[in-house]
Structure 1
């Protein structure tokens, strides 16, 4: 009798369970305006839903930044990178390439760094994953396009603002400041209670009081600051004394934004155009008194211009010394 071959039995050994992938969400908006706040909320809500819809994913945390003016540090982005080195998650989920990096160089450097740490970046809108080698060139190209679009948008915004400045239709001409409020049409009208405080500050300054003594005097009189604080800051007093709105004028273009990608803001010392609207609203301070205050500010300043260079004076203003003289 022939020996029958034993039947071969094959059994499958299942792979080790990989567990859930930890997901970090990163979102960014370019300003702190109200509509951008809504955009940030939408980004976060959308990406949270993407994570919730994948049974193999678990949300680690949401990182978000709001860029404004010269703020280019992006603290939550820095925290994200730090946590990448700590190996706290497996995937970074971003709405779109333009929200992740400011320019193509930064994009490629960051993606390369995270790939080296074994962390994947997924751009949801473009449906791209950095773990797929074929996507490297496409990510680079789309990053360049996003940068160009951002630069173009920035220039378009600047031109739109300038057009509003020239035509006089910009809402910035009727932006509120201490001493004024807006009527139903959005026009500036005098707030009599606050205007009295503005006049007091000018009178105290021209009577010889230093900024510090004015702060003390306002505290004694229990006059609260524009922010509702018991003690005024010296900066607030200086802002009041130098604000041309109190003579019915509005000067736009006091600051300007630098070049892409940092978009840092600088004081405009004549490098760019400015736009002055006269008789924009009812004045609080007489023109002559305002001019006297500006001359006094210059006189008291411990900085003087000598041969085109700024130098510190040898003496500082003292209201006590002024009275003795």
Structure 2
């Protein structure tokens, strides 16, 4: 029998060590939870419900759940590697601390198909980690699982696109009727709790002052300086600057109008009409 070379023996020992390491973490899992701000109140998407499902699955299939990491209030459009919680997942994967990543649904990983598939592939290729959805019965460690995962990711991305377009369509219709179609409540107004605007009696006089001073020929810097000198807080509760004075002066909402620009598939819709809210300035 031929004697193995030193190089071959080294390779065999390295392979044996790697096999032992893989076997050691084969039954170790990490759970990953994510919820975006808009989903926090929706049924079935809360962090406790996701964790409960993951822990129940791990117990049922005999996986040792070594850690559960979460990204609360993080959109699925944010790259996984840029999320605080998922960054810890990647660190543990690089350290070969587990071999299975558990998620309640694959859309917790990412809404965008490119992000979901790329992240899955990198975990598998770089760290030998497979991903399992505990409610969709899919394991990316198998060829069929990878195929189904890609299909589900595409469906999740399409669902999100539909929701975005539906929401945008609703906003366009509301703006077309003169309603406040979303965004930050303008300084000088309050929400009426029904999607409309009410005049803020405390801040409206500041808005009128700015318009009056601008009408009298004062510069943006001069207006900002006078507000700061009088201790008037800016919309963010800080100092006034020429830029936010200019932004306020150029907002047609104060004259009782609504103005929005919507872009859908390259088509631009500009809405500029009389609004349903009360004006602050004449």
TM-score, L = length of structure 1: 0.64
Deviation sequence 1:25-69 (CA, Å, 0-9, x none): 14243xx44xx232499442123223433352232422345239x
1:245 to 240, 244, 253: 253
Change (3 A) 1:282 1:57: closer
RMSD, aligned α-carbons: 3.6
- CA separation in 2, counterparts of 1:106 and 1:284? 46
Confirm or deny that 1:177 pairs with 2:176. no
Residue 86 of structure 1 deviates from its aligned partner by 4.1
2:30 to 17, 20, 23: 23
Kept in 2: contact 1:174–1:188 (CA 8 A): no
In the other structure, the counterpart of 1:289 is none
When you count helix as a share of all residues, which structure comes out higher?
2
1:224 to 219, 233, 250: 233
Deviation sequence 1:230-280 (CA, Å, 0-9, x none): x22444322211110111111133x64779xxxxxxxxxxx6112223153
- CA separation in 2, counterparts of 1:186 and 1:160? 12
Structure number with larger C-alpha Rg: 1
In the other structure, the counterpart of 2:150 is 140
Provide the secondary structure at the position in 2 that maps to 1:154. Answer: helix
TM-score, L = length of structure 2: 0.72
Change (3 A) 1:234 1:73: farther
Provide the secondary structure at the position in 1 that maps to 2:226. Answer: helix
In the other structure, the counterpart of 2:3 is none
In the other structure, the counterpart of 2:99 is 90
Kept in 2: contact 1:97–1:123 (CA 8 A): yes
In the other structure, the counterpart of 2:199 is 190
Confirm or deny that 1:203 pairs with 2:212. yes
In the other structure, the counterpart of 2:41 is 38
Kept in 1: contact 2:40–2:73 (CA 8 A): no
In the other structure, the counterpart of 1:63 is 71
Gaps of 5+ in 2: 1-19
- CA separation in 2, counterparts of 1:148 and 1:203? 49
Gaps of 5+ in 1: 1-14, 260-270, 287-325
Q: Which runs of 4+ in 1 moved over 6 A?
A: none
In the other structure, the counterpart of 2:161 is 151
In the other structure, the counterpart of 1:278 is 274
- CA separation in 1, counterparts of 2:86 and 2:54? 22
Q: Which moved more, 1:97-106 or 1:109-118?
A: 97-106
